[in-house]
Amino acid sequence: MDKLIIEVGKFYKSRNGMKIRIYAVDGYYKYPIHGAILWDEDWEVESWDKDGLYYGRERECKLDIVSEWEELTMEEINEISERLKNCSPSIIDYYLIISEKLKEKNYKPAEEE
């Protein structure tokens, strides 16, 4: 697997599927990557090491940066919602369903307007 290059101004995904925005990669000492994680509707400031490992952790953590962020299209969201309307999956189940859908379609992010 290629090493993820983390860049300012881009969005990334945490190990548990959270959206991360990056605003600095030249911070001081052990955690030079500075950004924020979207929790519901609010951004919370966080830091990561040069490899995207979450602040203060020496092993895998759910808030590690693992990939670039990819937005779903409205068609994909509606399709997923339809599949879920008669069940109440946990957040992990919901994430797995979305991941499966993205793999099926070899998903690429939509072009910005």
Global confidence as pTM: 0.64
Give the structural domain span for 56.
Answer: 11-68
Cβ atoms < 10 Å from Cβ of 64 = 20
Low pLDDT (below 70) residues in the chain: 1, 84-95, 103-113
Give the tens place of pLDDT for each residue, 90-112. Answer: 655 666 777 777 766 666 555 54
Q: Are 51 and 68 in contact (CB under 8 A)?
A: no
Q: What is the pLDDT of residue 71?
A: 85
- Are residues 64 and 80 located together in one domain of the fold? no
Does residue 1 lie within any of the structural domains? no
β-pair partners for 34: 24, 47
Closest CA to 109 of 68, 77, 79: 68
- Provide the domain count of the chain: 2
Classify residue 113: in a domain, yes or no. Answer: no
